[in-house]
């Protein structure tokens, strides 16, 4: 795939500008942060502990982690993951209440929400998802100032297309102008699947998404991003494999794919650093 060969690839630790030891703070590509205010991408590391999120639970470790970054918990907007293609447009109404607009149903609701992605223009908010081998994809369009993040597991592959189309529809964002980062996830070196899933991915995404039953979620998502018109210079695909590298939490590495065993869930989020302005 020509598009795949043109995009930038990077080790996430090479582009990390954070001095913290328990999370990464990453700039979007092809932007001048010295002259203009843009959001950053964030990702907790395994050392930070589990960031598991459920609407009906309180995870004190997660609260303490965001507090340590100076991020008020009330700024976080996070759906409880469902491994779907559901994306929410999050905004404040006239009474300053948070409203979540569903991409799939066109309905409106307040918290709690269940889904796998958030878009917003509210600079005071911090869209968050969690991952533990699935693909975090951060995105930002500087003209409309829409930013957000999606959780793209194998069942939800295609959610990034929904998110960017939603931003185009609601805020007139220009899809070719989006800056996109495909974050650390389990790569094809470690992700063996059955023949049925191999056929599904090769039929619906890039024909080489899965080779010898080793699935590349990266190739599938790059195929989608190229199809909808993301420019190669505005895209970074992170090479780090969460299953190979112990800096990251990993469902497969930590449990051997046994759902009964505990594993480290990481938070991925998009945020502006100076909340006093908003």
Give the H or E element holding residue 4.
helix 2-6
Confidence of residue 3 (pLDDT cuts 50, 70, 90): confident
For residue 18, the model assigns a pLDDT of 63
Asked if residue 99 lies in contact with residue 109, where contact means CB atoms within 8 angstroms, the answer is yes
What's the length of the chain? 278
pLDDT in tens, 189-221: 999 999 999 999 999 999 999 999 999 999 999
Q: Integer distance in angstroms from the first to the last C-alpha of the chain?
A: 42
pLDDT tens for residues 141-183? 999 999 999 999 999 999 999 999 999 999 999 999 999 999 9
Q: How confident is the model at residue 276, as a pLDDT?
A: 52
What lies within 8 Å, CB to CB, of 69 at 6+ separation is: 20, 23, 42
Cα separation, 143 vs 140, whole angstroms: 9
CA separation for the pair 41, 59 (Å, rounded): 22
pLDDT at 14: 87
Reported as a single tens digit per residue, the pLDDT across 58-97 is: 999 999 999 999 999 999 999 999 999 999 999 999 999 9
With bands split at pLDDT 50, 70 and 90, how would you rate the model's confidence at 2?
low
d(CA 21, CA 183): 18
Output the pLDDT for position 7: 85
């Amino acid at each position: 795939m020509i598009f795949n060969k043109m995009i930038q690839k990077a080790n996430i630790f090479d582009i990390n500008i954070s001095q913290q030891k328990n999370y990464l703070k990453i700039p979007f590509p092809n932007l001048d942060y010295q002259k203009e205010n843009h959001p950053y991408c964030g990702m907790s590391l395994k050392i930070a502990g589990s960031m598991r999120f459920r609407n009906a639970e309180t995870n004190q470790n997660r609260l303490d982690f965001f507090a340590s970054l100076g991020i008020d918990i009330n700024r976080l907007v996070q759906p409880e993951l469902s491994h779907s293609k559901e994306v929410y447009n999050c905004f404040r109404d006239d009474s300053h209440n948070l409203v979540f607009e569903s991409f799939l149903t066109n309905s409106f609701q307040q918290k709690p929400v269940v889904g796998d992605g958030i878009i917003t223009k509210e600079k005071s908010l911090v869209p968050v998802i969690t991952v533990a081998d699935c693909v975090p994809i951060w995105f930002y369009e500087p003209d409309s100032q829409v930013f957000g993040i999606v959780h793209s597991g194998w069942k939800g592959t295609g959610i990034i297309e929904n998110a960017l189309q939603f931003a185009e529809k609601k805020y007139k964002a220009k899809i070719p102008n989006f800056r996109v980062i495909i974050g650390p996830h389990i790569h094809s070196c470690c992700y063996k699947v059955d023949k049925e899933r191999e056929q599904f991915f090769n039929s619906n995404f890039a024909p080489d998404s899965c080779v010898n039953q080793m699935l590349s979620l990266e190739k599938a998502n790059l195929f989608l991003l190229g199809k909808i018109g993301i420019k190669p210079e505005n895209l970074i695909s992170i090479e780090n494999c969460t299953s190979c590298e112990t800096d990251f939490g990993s469902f497969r590495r930590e449990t051997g794919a046994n759902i009964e065993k505990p594993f480290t869930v990481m938070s991925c989020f998009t945020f502006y650093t100076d909340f006093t302005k908003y």
